[in-house]
Amino acid sequence: MIRLRATGSAKKAAAAIRRAALPSAVAAVNLAIILFPIETIDAAKDGLLLWFDNVLPVMLPFMIGCSLLASLGFVEFAGAALERLMRPIFGVPGCAAFALVSGILSGYPMGAAVAADLRARGYITKSEGDRLLMFSNNAGPLFVVGAAGAGMFGSGAFGYYLLAAQALSALTVGIVSGWLAGGAAGPAPREPEAIKKIRDSRPFGGKLGSASLSSVTAVTQIGAFITLFSVVARILKTLGVISFGSPIARGLAIGALEITNGLKETASGGMSFWAAVAAAALIGWGGLSVHAQTAAVVAKTDLSAGAYVVGKAACAAAAAVFAAAMYPFCSGAFAGSAAPAFARSAVSRWGYGAALFGSTMAAALIIAVWQAVSARIGGAVFQSRRKMKR
């Protein structure tokens, strides 16, 4: 009896500590802002300038375009093309490809937003939604290639290298999580109905206006999180908590909070094997800033933010491994890069844009070919089964 009472008291004390932890942390940050006003203002300016110079011009046009593509049916088309892949490979319904493709094209937090929407509509189970969050919510290609690779490390090729490491890590986590969950086991999905209900039937002008508004809102929210966590990181650095070691060590510490500033700090030490591995791990992790955005997106559902954080930690580890494995084969493409690509000529910027546009169109072509082939194979199988029944 005494042991049971002690256990109950310990649980109540732990619950009280958990309830007080977040308000205490917020109060500590506000107090630090008052105590270090100059550092806070400088950090906020740096965060806003970093967002304005490297994130806003890279992400806003692309997010508008991707949102517009989604409303015009491209993402639904891609999801339908991938229906036959999602269940056996990732252990989720085919309509979950909508979240995967959105996360790949638009970046944080589009994958989480679509996964939450699918869960709210009842087209995926809680377990499927938790696993979908683990690998569908990733950094967008223009942030990785443009802001991180070209803007901070001075090499678009390095950005593609980081993008490949992230994609491989996300797919690996998705496959492993689906295998651990039992693969294709589960209820029969209702993908066509899900896709029809998500489809946008408004006129083009309404779609364009909505895409612009939602993209501006999302990019502004990203800027707010970058600014907030820039202030937190500067305060911790001022207090000596993360003011240690090499630029890579500081970048990892800062990147654990906010990915953009972490990558910037990592890049300040120049290009190297460990800088590449650290950058890949940071992009795979995303940072607490991104996790806060994701938690806000899924707050109205029963999806687990804790499972998402575990999945991102696994993505970070896998991305570091893939980056280390690929570095000897890819380092020649970006060796000696130093000047940020945004400071180069317009021809270089157009070259990177054309390469990214070409790769996107190539992916769309592959999806279209797969759709045609899978439809042909599916039709042939259906006809053969009808003949066998006769």
pLDDT digits (tens, 9 = 90+) for 131-142: 898 898 888 888
Q: What is the mean pLDDT of residues 9-24?
A: 70
Q: How far apart are CA 137 and CA 114, in angstroms?
A: 9
- pLDDT tens per residue, range 322-374: 999 999 888 787 765 544 433 333 334 434 444 344 444 433 433 343 344 44
Q: What is the mean pLDDT of residues 5-33?
A: 72
Sequence ranges of the domains in the chain? 36-380
Buried b (16+ CB within 10 A) or exposed e, 171-207: bbbbebbbeebeeeebeebbbeebbeebebeeeeeeb
pLDDT of residue 118: 79
Q: Which runs of consecutive H residues, i.e. helices, occur in 239-298?
A: 247-255, 259-267, 273-285, 287-297
Which of the 8 DSSP states describes residue 95?
Answer: G
Q: What are phi and psi of 17, to 5 degrees?
A: -65, -40
pLDDT of residue 320: 93
Burial class (CB in 10 A: 0-12, 13-18, 19+), 71: buried
pLDDT above 90 coverage of the chain, percent: 12
